[in-house]
Structures are given as C-alpha cells and as structure tokens.
C-alpha cells in the first residue's frame, strides 16, 4: 500500500533541495516565486503518473532541474523548463499555457525539448534519421541540449528499473551520443559519469571488478599523493600562492578503455589517477603566469616527459577547456599526470559553457558560436545518409585538436590527424577544391600529409584542379568531406545524364515505353542503389546495354525473365544456417518475446559462444546476425537501428561446438608448446583447428583456434592453461579470420 502522506513530504523535501541548489533564488523573491509556480504546475500535471520504479513521476523533473542548477550551473529559466520538460508531451498542458504563464523563451525551450522527445527519449532508442532534429535544436538554443543531457543523466542513474534489453539500448545510445555531446559542451564530470553508468549497465561484472580494485588501492593512493605533493605544497606556499592539491582517480570507463586498447590488466594501467593543482589567482591577467610558475615548481622536483606536455592555457580547447597537463616520473618509478589550472579554469572544466557565462558574459559565447556555426554548416551541407552525418559529427565532437597557422600567422583549430587538404578546405571551399599540394614549414608535402600542432601551412592551387574520389581518404573534417562529396556528386550527375541518353536510345531501339519500365527491377538486377547510379554505370561502361537480353520485353513492358528472377530472388533471401561442425543449428538460440527458433549466423566481428550475453540484429541481406552485447559494433547498431534489434537467448538443447580463439603469451621454455597442447587435447578433450606459435628474445606468443561448447567450457580451458609453467597470459580472441 502506497503511503501518500509520506510521498507528499518526500516530494516537498526534494523541492527544498532544489531551491538550495538554486543559489540565485535566495536573493530574488520573484525568481523563487517563478520556480515555485513551475513546480506546482508540474506536480499537478504529473499527479497520476508513476515511473517504472513505481515512484511518483514528479521526482524525475525535480531531479533534472537540480542537475541543471547544481551540476551544470544553469539559471532559473533552465530550471523552470526542466521542471516542465515532459508536460507538453505527456499531459494536457500546451505550449500556449507555458507562454502565457512564464513567457516566450520558456515556451521555445520546452518546444525544442518536446520536438526531440520522440527522438531522444527514455523509452525510444535513437535512430540516425532523426539526429538532424537534435542538432537543429542545439543550434537554436544550447539550453535545450543541456537540459536533455541532465534528463539523460538522471535516467541513467535510475536505469535499474528498466528491462535488460531496454537498458542495453539506452546505454548504447548514451555512449554513442550523449557522452560525446557532454564532452563537446565541456561537461567533463557528467561525460565521465555517463560513460561509467553505461559501462556498469553493459558490463556489470567488469565494472564491479575495477571499482573494487580502486577501493582496495585507495589508501595506498592517498599515501602516495600526500608524499608526492608534500615538496610541491611547501614550495608553492613559500612563493605565497594560494592553491589546493587533490588526487583525482580516473573514471572506471577510462581505465576499462585503456585496459581494452592496450590489452593490459588493471594492475598494469599506470595512470589510475591524476594530481590536480588548483590555483586561486588574484585576477585573470595573472592566471597564465601562475600556472607556468606552478609547472616550474613541479618539474623542479620531478622529471617531466616532454612529449606528454599539453598546453591548453595558451590555446584552450574548442569546448573552453583550459589547463596545463604534464606527466612526471615519481620517486617510486611510476609516471604521474599533473594537471595545473586556476579556480576559474577548474569550474569551467567541470561545468562547461554554463560556467563560462558565469565568469564572462558573452566572452565564451563567441567561441561557442564558432562551434554552433560549424553545426549549422554541417547540417546545411549534409545530404543523404544520416549515419555518415553522425559519424562526421562525432568525429569532430571527440577529436583532440591541433593548432596550425597560415603564412600570415592566423591560427586555425583542426581535429587531430587532419591533413593538408583539410586545412585547405578550412581556409576556403575554393582553395580546397583547387588544391594541388602544400608547403608545411616551407617544405613541399602531398595533400595527404598529416599536420601537427605548430605547423605553418601554405596551400598551392591550380584552376585546372578539381576534387577526386581518392581525396575522401585524405580528409578528416566534415567540411572537407561534404565539399568533396558535393563536387563528386555534381560530376557524377553530369556523367549520369550521358548514361540516361544511352539508355533512352536503347529503349527506343527495342520499342520500350518509359512509362511501363520498372527501373526498380533493373536496379535490383544490377545491384545499384539509385537510378543515377544505374545511369552512371551505363555511361562508364560498367553496365553493358546488351544485358537487356536478360529481360522480357512485351508490349513495351520490361520484366526479368523467370529463371533470372529466381536467381535474383535467391540472392536476396538469406540462406539457412549450415549445420556443419562449428556452425549453429536452429535449436541453439531463440529470439524475440515469444522466444522463437529462427535461422541466424554468428557475427564474425565478436564470434559469440553459448553463455555470452547476446542480441540478434536483422540485416538486409544476411538474415539475423548474433552479436555479443559488448561487441565493438554493438553501440552503433543499438543506437541507430533499435528497430532491427531482437532479444536473443541461448537454450541448452544440443551440445554444439563453437569455434573461438585464444592468444597465449609467456616465457619460452623447452616443451612448453607440447605442455599447452597436452592440456587442450588430452586433459580437456578440446578439438583444435589450428595452432600458431612464435618465439622472440625468450618470449613466446601463440594463437590457438579451438572448438568449445560454451563460456564455462572456455573459462575452464583458460584456467587450466594459466597453470602451465611459463604461461603468463591467456586472452580470448573475439575477431576470427
């Protein structure tokens, strides 16, 4: 039985907590009154609604408003909109009501939130085709996206009440879009928490393992930080500087990411934490010199790794991040990252653009406007595939930046890994389109030359030059890609016109009426995506018009001949799964809510075996493919194609054998290969398909392909192999072949 009185008290307590977070409301009774009015309206509108957890729905908008105020640093307008963000979508309240009660700005923001609620929703997974709507809203008023990020953060914090398959889709979407957006908007803490919560959802055991190990090593870390910081602290105090030194552990997600990328265990991730020096500068004018003075003190005591110095004080990141990063060698022989920044810089690093506005009204917005203009440009020049749009956008969201200069000394910021051709398009579209090559630091380089920070670049052009297909391999920025694609598309259209004329001529010759022809039939037969591509391939000779004999032409109507139609149909319909050894039969997996037995293939990118957590993905040409939920492709598939994901579960109806791979590393010793094969073949009766070992300087590195029944069978095998003398590591290989 629900205790309504108790709930009422809890709701009022939550509201009081919100008011405490709204520091500005204490000094302004009118603001406090407006927030109260929004709270009362939301409370009444949602009074009969409950969340999946069973708690009153109003807890959610209160929590979102509090995140906006406390963790992002937004003002009263955003808090009001956060309290009301679901009312227009879910209740009888209209935008007109919002405008009449609060004003035009609040109505516009809530309209933006409502427009994308069906796109970026707790219950609906994001689809690439709708991504443009989010970006359009972002370019209108950034507060819409900031509130939406706060909304997603609270939903991720309370995701435990959702069904497992929904959790996975939402976590994938969060990693795919929200964490990069938070990163680009300078919300470092929120970005890290979103990543951690997503990992906790996707790989709970691994998350818990890293968390436990961090907790166990916390006391050791604290002692190390205290000892490491002691001489620095003393020296800074002698210089009369006011400061704070603290150790900050790396996020669990970043540790997991490093373990994965470098293929090392937790114990071998050396930078588990960073030491942060936060300086209380007297004014912004002294901030830069204060940071370098602190850097000088740190490097007086500890040897720096010059290659790891990052100066974002002189050249801040595009998201406003300012800090000096250096990596120094500690007395214990471990590298330690030290971050040096002022109090203002630290606030901006945690709260992003909202903090910029707090410190300098309009100052940071000019930098933000540059990025917003890039978003608008990206939308205006984006045609066709929405997935390409997302890939390009995410590339520019996440990429580290480099700073390069024109011959006149103007600085341009580009994503890390950009080429001379990217720089040319950054200068001007015409410069990029007519680019022949470049001079970097007065040396002639090709278009594909990768730039580094500090390069001075002069672009060489020719009026006879025009974009080529292979240019797309040389560029990273969306601006360059979109301009090249647009130019190639125009050229392709011109060539396609010639192909259409050739086809017209052939049709007239065969007395085929254009009204009766099914171009779709021809596209299917020739495996092309559009009429333009059909015409283009005719013009370039890839499609020979004598191939029209494959079609029946009766009364001016074109159809595929019956035998050929069957062959095409056979190509389009996925084949049934083979039942050969190492391939699944129909009774190993079941799909959907009704748990039906369907034909499927195991994805080669992650090679799942029974016991792995998996999902089914309906492909266009290959039927159902089964992937592990932690497959490298899972995030993209779940985010962009949620409607093609189906629940999948292993059933124990047959003891099949599945092919998987093991990578074994150890100290080379006489007879070790024989000992390994003895364990595999004789002790455990596991069948091997292949064995490959290489030895170098006393270390061996081997790959063994084996057939196992399920995850426990594989775990047992790994456990036994680790007991073989000389074996140091055994890792499963997901990608085979």
Asked if residues 618 and 648 have their Cβ atoms less than 8 Å apart, the reply is: no
What are the residues facing 695 on neighbouring strands?
Answer: 700
Instruction: Measure Cα distances from 151 to 154, 247, 363, 606 in Å.
Output: 5, 29, 27, 33
Rounded CA-CA distance 89/149 in Å is: 18
Q: Angle at Cα 142 formed by Cα 171 and Cα 394, nearest 5°?
A: 45
How would you class 102 by CB atoms within 10 Å of its CB: exposed for 0-12, middle for 13-18, buried for 19 or more? buried
Out of 7, 10, 90, 701, which one is annotated catalytic? 90
Rounded CA-CA distance 710/584 in Å is: 12
Q: Hey, is 39 helix, strand or coil? A: helix
Q: E strand or H helix at 365, and its extent?
A: helix 363-380
Asked if residues 243 and 278 have their Cβ atoms less than 8 Å apart, the reply is: yes
Structure tokens at 716: 């047992």
Whether 89 is a known active-site residue: answer yes
How would you class 296 by CB atoms within 10 Å of its CB: exposed for 0-12, middle for 13-18, buried for 19 or more? exposed
> Which residues, 6 or more positions from 515, have their beta carbon under 8 angstroms from its beta carbon?
none
> Which residues, 6 or more positions from 709, have their beta carbon under 8 angstroms from its beta carbon?
610, 655, 656, 657, 658
DSSP for 130-171 reads: GHHHHHHHHHH-HHHHHHHHHHHHHHHHTGGGS-HHHHHHHH
Q: Angle at Cα 332 formed by Cα 327 and Cα 336, nearest 5°?
A: 20
Rounded CA-CA distance 150/194 in Å is: 10
Within 10 angstroms of residue 513's Cβ, the number of other Cβ atoms is: 12
Rounded CA-CA distance 101/520 in Å is: 54
Out of 7, 89, 377, 388, which one is annotated catalytic? 89
What is residue 451's DSSP assignment?
A: P
| Residues with a known catalytic role | 89-90
């Amino acid at each position: 039985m629900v205790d309504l009185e108790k709930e009422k008290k809890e709701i009022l307590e939550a509201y009081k907590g919100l008011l405490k977070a709204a520091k500005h409301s204490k000094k302004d009774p009118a603001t406090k009154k407006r927030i109260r009015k929004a709270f009362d309206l939301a409370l009444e509108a949602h009074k009969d609604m409950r969340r999946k957890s069973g708690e009153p729905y109003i807890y959610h908008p209160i929590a979102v408003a509090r995140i906006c105020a406390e963790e992002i640093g937004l003002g009263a307008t955003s808090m009001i909109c956060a309290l009301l963000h679901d009312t227009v979508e879910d209740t009888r309240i209209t935008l007109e009501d919002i405008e009449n009660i609060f004003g035009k700005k609040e109505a516009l923001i809530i309209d933006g939130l409502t427009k994308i609620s069906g796109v970026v929703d707790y219950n609906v997974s994001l689809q690439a085709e709708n991504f443009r709507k989010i970006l359009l809203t972002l370019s209108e008023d950034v507060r819409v996206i900031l509130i939406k990020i706060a909304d997603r953060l609270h939903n991720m914090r309370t995701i435990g009440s959702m069904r497992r398959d929904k959790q996975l889709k939402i976590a994938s979407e969060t990693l795919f879009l929200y964490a990069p957006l938070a990163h680009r908007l300078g919300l470092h803490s929120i970005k890290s928490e979103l990543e951690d919560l997503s990992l906790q959802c996707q790989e709970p055991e691994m998350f818990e393992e890293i968390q436990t190990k961090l907790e166990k090593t916390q006391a050791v870390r604290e002692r190390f930080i205290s000892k490491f910081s002691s001489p620095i602290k003393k020296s800074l105090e002698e210089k009369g500087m006011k400061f704070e030194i603290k150790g900050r552990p790396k996020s669990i997600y970043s540790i997991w990411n490093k373990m994965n990328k470098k293929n090392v265990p937790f114990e071998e991730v050396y930078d588990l934490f960073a030491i942060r020096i936060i300086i209380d500068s007297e004014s912004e004018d002294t901030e830069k010199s204060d940071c370098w003075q602190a850097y000088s003190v740190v490097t007086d005591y500890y040897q720096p790794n010059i290659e790891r110095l990052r100066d974002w004080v002189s050249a801040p990141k595009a998201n406003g991040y300012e800090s000096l990063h250096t990596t120094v060698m500690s007395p214990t022989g471990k590298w330690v990252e030290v971050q040096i920044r002022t109090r203002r810089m630290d606030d901006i690093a945690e709260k992003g653009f909202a903090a910029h506005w707090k410190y300098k009204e309009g100052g940071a917005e000019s930098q933000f406007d540059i990025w917003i203009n890039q978003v608008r440009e990206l939308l205006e020049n984006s045609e066709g595939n929405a997935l390409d749009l997302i890939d390009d956008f995410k590339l520019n969201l996440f990429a580290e930046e480099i700073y390069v200069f024109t011959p006149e000394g103007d600085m341009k910021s580009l994503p890390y890994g950009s080429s001379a051709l990217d720089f040319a398009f950054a200068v001007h579209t015409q410069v990029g389109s007519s680019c022949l090559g470049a001079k970097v630091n007065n040396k002639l380089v090709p278009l594909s030359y990768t730039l580094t920070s500090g390069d001075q670049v002069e672009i060489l052009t020719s009026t006879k030059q025009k974009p080529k297909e292979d240019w797309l391999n040389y560029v990273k920025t969306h601006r360059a890609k979109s301009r090249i694609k647009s130019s190639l598309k125009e050229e392709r259209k011109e060539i396609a016109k010639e192909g259409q004329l050739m086809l017209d001529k052939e049709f007239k010759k065969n007395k085929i009426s254009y009204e009766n022809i099914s171009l779709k039939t021809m596209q299917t037969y020739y495996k092309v995506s559009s009429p333009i591509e059909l015409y283009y391939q005719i013009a370039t000779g890839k499609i020979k018009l004598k191939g029209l004999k494959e079609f029946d032409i009766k009364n001016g109507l074109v159809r595929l001949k019956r035998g050929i139609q069957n062959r095409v149909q056979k190509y389009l319909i996925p084949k049934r799964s083979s039942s050969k050894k190492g391939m699944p039969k129909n009774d190993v997996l079941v799909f959907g809510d009704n748990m039906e037995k369907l034909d499927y293939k195991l994805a080669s990118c992650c090679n799942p075996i029974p016991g792995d957590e998996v999902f089914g993905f309906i492909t266009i040409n290959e039927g159902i493919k089964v992937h592990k939920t932690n497959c490298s492709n899972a995030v993209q598939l779940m985010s962009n194609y949620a409607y093609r994901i189906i629940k999948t579960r292993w059933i124990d109806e047959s003891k099949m054998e599945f092919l998987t791979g093991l990578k074994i590393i150890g100290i080379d010793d006489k007879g070790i290969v024989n000992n390994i094969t003895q364990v595999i073949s004789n002790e455990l009766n596991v069948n091997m398909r292949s064995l490959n070992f290489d030895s170098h300087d006393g270390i061996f590195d081997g790959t063994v392909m084996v057939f196992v029944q399920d995850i426990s069978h594989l775990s047992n095998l790994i456990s036994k192999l680790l007991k073989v003398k000389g074996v140091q590591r055994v890792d499963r290989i997901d990608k085979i072949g």
